[in-house]
Amino acid sequence: MLTIEWSATEGWQAPLIKPFGNMSLHPACSSLHYGVQLFEGLKAYRGDDNRLRLFRPMLNMNRMSKSARRACLPTFDHSELLECIRRLVEIDQDWVPHSDSAGLYIRPTFISTEPSLGVKKPGHALLYVILCQAGSYFNNEAEALSLWADPKYTRAWEGGTGDCKMGGNYGCSLLAQYEAVDYGCQQVLWLYGEDHQITEAGTMNIFLHWINEIGEEELATPPLDGIILPGVTRQSILELTRKWNLHIPCQDKNTQLTSRIAKELTDIQYGRIHSDWTFLV
Amino acid sequence: MLTIEWSATEGWQAPLIKPFGNMSLHPACSSLHYGVQLFEGLKAYRGDDNRLRLFRPMLNMNRMSKSARRACLPTFDHSELLECIRRLVEIDQDWVPHSDSAGLYIRPTFISTEPSLGVKKPGHALLYVILCQAGSYFNNEAEALSLWADPKYTRAWEGGTGDCKMGGNYGCSLLAQYEAVDYGCQQVLWLYGEDHQITEAGTMNIFLHWINEIGEEELATPPLDGIILPGVTRQSILELTRKWNLHIPCQDKNTQLTSRIAKELTDIQYGRIHSDWTFLV
């Protein structure tokens, strides 16, 4: 794992790559009391050429920085952190699956280690990165997901932290998530406001592919209005489909467009087509 | 410190009181990634009779249980946890200040120790209690506080966790708090909705003592509508003042009522008047 300590008086310390193991934390540290914490998630993919690639990692670095500002944690040099992550993956390269449906999940995490109970800006913090092998997030890979929408719970709101990857956005979602499961669904579809606007699904952005009210085929996703997490996959799908001249006949099962998007993304991620969206390890 | 471990398979383990020290946590545990964490805050007071008293601690136990349900953490026997806390304070009784303006702050904390990155209900958790001496939360004891109100940030919202003492409610408040400080204020006054309703101050409930639109003297506080933290002091002030027949002449500085409330509460807390609101250690 990679660890980098920071303090207000000393600044950033030298990054360390060391064996994975438990961390020693002060019981009062504000990451455990006040949710002063954030994370990112990205993957390393092993291509047919056996090279390892990250997918648009600078978007994660940018978003992590934005989350840090929102959480009153310090910012950092994006390229330097990416280089530390690249080196970590290089060292652990044997863990990257030989598979075109799995990858090595990379979890940058940034927590306050301020050891005092006052609600205040952290004077100490720890940025660390851990890795694990990951396939599909859901068990039912081929099937569609069922979403449970109930306006009783709200994920995020204007003036909150919904557009940052802070821990509090997720802990508050568990209860709704298990209500969804009780009703036979895999995830929550989060609604917002009195008119129940669609915002996000449980742990991901959402797209609607439909024939709209005036008969046009449309791929729609909620705008980044401060309550939506700016997903890397979301942005990539928008950039891909804007380049395509969409004339896809709609069928009973609207899988053609999603298949095309999934193929294009995985072709890039696994290095089957050249793209500046990948970053070689 | 007091620690009590829980797991879904084994249930609650025996409580341990042991020397204060760092904790060993798995880097993936969901209290550090998804804010699956909550806390409480109460004080032990040393009375003129040298006895130690807690103030309405069962209200904290109840609220902690409610927070636990919201966070998908397990509930617990309120009386047993209170007895563990009583025993901890008894052991550390020498730390309770000999002062009628300070106390021993008690911080029950409950975190997920689930060591995996999926966003899911914790299968492992740790409840712990730490102590520290505490005087007034603010430095300027005698002076009034200045509050900064800006609708740009929102503390909590309907369908969220504002009525629970979960960590995420606090981490998201830091940025607004430091904006308040930049403008020369001590705390944020949190507004809500398009009509900027008053909800809470930074880390406390709020009361307005005023002459209302129809000329009546009124002590008002926002209702517990799901976005307000149900404070123990809030509830106690409401219960006290409802018993009093308020006919307090308003002056330029409306300090008579607040002084009377503060005196009544501290008289109870420090055992100067008998009350079933205190719990002897």
Q: Is A70 on the interface with B (CB under 8 A)?
A: yes
| Residues B35, A111: C-beta atoms closer than 8 Å | no
Extended beta strands in chain B, E state: 2-7, 11-12, 16-17, 23-25, 37-39, 42-46, 52-55, 103-112, 124-134, 147-148, 187-192, 197-201, 208-211, 217-220, 278-280
Which of A5, A16, A30, A31 is the best residue to mutate to test the B interface, defined by the most B CB atoms within 10 Å of its own CB? Answer: A31
Which of B17, B18, B31 is the best residue to mutate to test the A interface, defined by the most A CB atoms within 10 Å of its own CB? Answer: B31
DSSP conformational letter for B213: T
Q: Is B2 left (phi over 0), alpha (psi -120 to 50) or beta?
A: beta
Work out the average pLDDT over B237-245: 86
**Minimal-distance CA residue of chain B relative to A19:** B27
Give B8-14's long-range contacts (Cβ < 8 A, gap of 24+): B8/B122, B8/B123, B8/B124, B9/B123, B12/B74, B12/B76
| Residues A31, B32: C-beta atoms closer than 8 Å | yes
Q: Does the pLDDT value for residue B89 go beyond 70?
A: yes
What average pLDDT is seen over chain A?
Answer: 92
A11 CA to chain B: closest CA distance, Å? 20
Give the start-to-end residue ranges of the domains of chain A.
2-135, 147-269
Multiple choice CATH, A147-269, 3.20.20.210, 3.20.10.10, 3.40.190.10, 1.10.3720.10: 3.20.10.10
What is the residue type of B10? E
Extended beta strands in B40-183, E state: 42-46, 52-55, 103-112, 124-134, 147-148
Which tens digit of pLDDT belongs to each residue from A60-103? 999 999 999 999 999 999 999 999 999 999 999 999 999 988 99
Q: Is A199 on the interface with B (CB under 8 A)?
A: no
DSSP-assigned states of every residue in A179-226: HHHHTT-SEEEEEETTTTEEEEETTB---EEEE-TTS-EEEE----SS
Q: Is B154 on the interface with A (CB under 8 A)?
A: yes
pLDDT band at residue A253 under the 50/70/90 scheme: low
Size of interface A-B (CB pairs under 8 A): 184
Which tens digit of pLDDT belongs to each residue from A148-186? 999 999 999 999 999 999 999 999 999 999 999 999 999
**What gap in Å lies between CA B37 and CA A100, rounded to an integer?**
37
**Count of H-run helices and E-run strands, chain A:** 7, 15
Interface confidence (ipTM) of the complex:
0.94
Using the structure block, give the residue that is written with the tokens 């102590």. Answer: B131
Q: Which residue among B21, B24, B36 sits closest to A171, beta carbon to beta carbon?
A: B36
pTM: 0.94
Which tens digit of pLDDT belongs to each residue from B126-166? 999 999 999 876 665 556 789 999 999 999 999 999 999 99
Same topology between domain A2-135 and domain A147-269: no
Q: Is B32 on the interface with A (CB under 8 A)?
A: yes
| Residues A1, B174: C-beta atoms closer than 8 Å | no
What SS3 class is residue A107?
strand
- The domain over range B2-135 is classified in CATH as 3.30.470.10: yes
